[in-house]
Structure 1
Amino acid sequence: MKSILVLGGTGTTGRRIARRLSADGLPVRTASRTGGDVRFDLDDPTTWGPALDGAAAMYLLEPALRPGVDRRNRIPRLVSEAVAAGVTRLVLLSAYGVGGADDSHPLKSAERAVRGSGVDWTILQPDWFAQNFSESFWLPDVRSGTLAAPTGDGRTPFVDAEDIAAVAAAALTEDRHHGRTYQLTGPAALSFGEALDVIADATGRTLRHLDVPAAAFADRMTEEGVPAAAARLLTGLLVDVREGRGATVSDGVRQALGRPARSFEQFVGEAAAAGHWA
């Protein structure tokens, strides 16, 4: 039986997609550099063929930035190999705002490759994940009580990864999403300070957002081992929040699923109950 291949299958979105597909009784395989059902490494094309074998649909994404890696050609090459191997449906996790980025943005070439693949495709462009507060980048800062970021009072509509997974699972299994690009956001834009207030109310913790200069933030990241190029990219995205870019709320979740996006308050309530900030 043909299967659905989920790249990054142990990550924030991948494991949620796989869980949904498995719950529906669908044949799904997770792939990642570590863990998952099959090993897959975008830096190692020898791992691609075994992972693609028997796959009819694939969820694909670019992993975290690593030094010395040119990301511009990896997804296009993978798309070509996937189609040649028999994959007939592609769902790409891109990022909010890629449509307005210049051609040097690595996800631009990924989107072009998927759109030009000759098979069914869907592109997801999510905003900042709400789970960054509970599972990823900002969790250590939240636990410490102070989240330092160069965002000022700028707002952004954090999107719940559960919504991203729900849209991805639908796109992997339903014909009606072919040729669609969904901008995925939460239902309301919040500042980092406001987001921390919601978490504080749910957990009883004392939390604050500390606005810091962009250069100092980038320097701190590089001191912690983040590659300089990645530090500059992330800092620039946070400065965009400060300057009001990317604050627009989209109805992509409703377009794809016929229901509103989950609120940040819903996400926080569930994350708090699960003990993420304990």
Structure 2
Amino acid sequence: MTATTPTTLVLAGTGKTGRRVVSGLRARDMPVRVGSRSAEPPFDWQDDTTWEPALRGMDSVYVAFHPDAAFPGAAGAVGSFAERAVACGVRHLVLLADRGAAEAERCEQAVRDSGAEWTIVRAGFITQNFSEAFLIELVRTGVVALPVGEVAEPFTDAEDIADVAVAALTEAGHAGRIHEVTGPRLITFADAVGEIARVTRREVRYLPVTPEQFVSTLTRRGVPAEYATQLTSLMVEVFDGRRATMTDTVERVLGRPPRDFTDYVRTTAVTGVWNAHTEASGA
């Protein structure tokens, strides 16, 4: 292997976990190819003619399905991609999967059946959804309305997910392992929103709503109806208490404690990403 030879393809390489995996691999001087529609060669989950060009020369792949491994149809696409990857000479697949989601479990099985060495990285609700995804606009407006009731969840930081994935991609002993990544404590969405309000000194509150109300909220904000419905169905599926447990994966794999939600809020708040003026400026 030479420093100029790309060996790891990181799918969703500009997303919440993917871009952090890219950074982690580069920090270890590991050659990386970013898998995204804007990359060269481009990669698009919806266009399988882009898969083989992106896979050429790769030894391993971080498999993050867009929009989510728990969405309908994900397992079929992941299975087809895994087969194509093996045919292209890929030896190791590291899959990002959702804790407790039925479709994500089918994605896991598809990867295990591919013939490649595999590692599963399971995660629940990613903390950065509050600042890098669909919840950011709700935080900015001051009302975070969700169809999840008062269920508790061990919010998982994207940095922890990425670091575990990087370890799986670069270190021995991870093949055939399932790494279930969680945060260090259980927290409700009401608690989380309250913490954001306290640290930012802004009026932000949590509002439990019905699934129908949540779909309506998203579509009014320009989210396509199909995506809004699928996202809502996923939230109803997994936020029923099934994920209200913690693991020692981060400490076991990385030798450090997982990142706490409070630390995330403090470091994110100083960026100003939740400020109302940020929305207006488009920054």
**TM-score strictly above 0.5:** yes
Instruction: Indicate yes or no: 2:14 matched with 1:17.
Output: no
Equivalent residue number for residue 75 of structure 1: 78
- Segments of structure 1 that go 5 or more residues without pairing to the other structure are none
Report the alpha carbon displacement of residue 242 of structure 1 after superposing the two structures with TM. 5.9
Q: Which residue of 2 aligns with 1:48?
A: 51
Q: Is the Cα–Cα contact under 8 Å of residues 6 and 32 in structure 2 kept in the other structure?
A: no
Q: Given the alignment of the two structures, is residue 110 of structure 1 paired with residue 96 of structure 2, yes or no?
A: no
> CA 1:70 to 1:240, structure 2 compared with 1: closer, same or farther past 3 Å?
closer
**Off by >6 Å, runs of 4+ in structure 1:** none
Per the TM alignment, residue 214 of structure 1 is displaced from its structure 2 partner at its CA by 2.2
Q: Is the 8 A contact 2:75 2:110 kept in 1?
A: no
CA–CA distance in 2 between the matches of 1:118 and 1:244?
A: 34
- Give the C-alpha shift of residue 196 in structure 1: 1.2
Q: Select which of 118, 126, 129 maps to 1:129.
A: 126
* Inter-partner Cα distance in structure 1 for 2:209 and 2:242: 18
1:135–1:276 Cα contact (<8 Å) kept = no
Q: What is the distance in 1 between the residues matched to 2:271 and 2:61? A: 30
1:6 — aligned with what? 10
User: Relative to 1, partners in 2 of residues 1:89 and 1:214: Cα closer, same or farther, differing over 3 Å?
Assistant: same
1:29 corresponds to: 33
- CA positional deviation for 1:71: 3.2
Quick one: distance in 1 between partners of 2:49 and 2:236? 39
TM normalised by structure 1 equals 0.89
- Which moves more between the two structures, 54-63 or 233-242? 233-242
Matched, 1:149 2:146: yes
- Aligned residue type for 1:231: A
Q: Deviations over 1:66-86 (max 9, x none)?
A: xxx843321111111111111
Q: Is the 8 A contact 1:159 1:184 kept in 2?
A: yes
Structure 2 residue aligned with 1:39: 42
* Structure 1 residues 71 and 127: alpha-carbon distance in aligned structure 2, compared to 1, 3 A threshold: closer
- Tell me if structure 1 keeps the 8 A contact 2:151–2:239: yes
Q: CA deviation at 1:226?
A: 4.4
> Which sits farther off after the overlay, 38-47 or 51-60?
38-47
Cα offset, 1:221, TM superposition: 3.1
Return closer, same or farther for 1:241/1:75 CA change in 2, 3 Å cut-off.
closer
With normalisation by structure 2, the TM-score equals 0.87
Q: Alignment partner for residue 87 of structure 1, among 78, 82, 90?
A: 90
**Percent of pairs identical after alignment?**
44
Task: Give the number of equivalent residue pairs.
Answer: 268
Q: Is the 8 A contact 2:154 2:185 kept in 1?
A: yes
3-state SS of paired residue (1:73):
helix
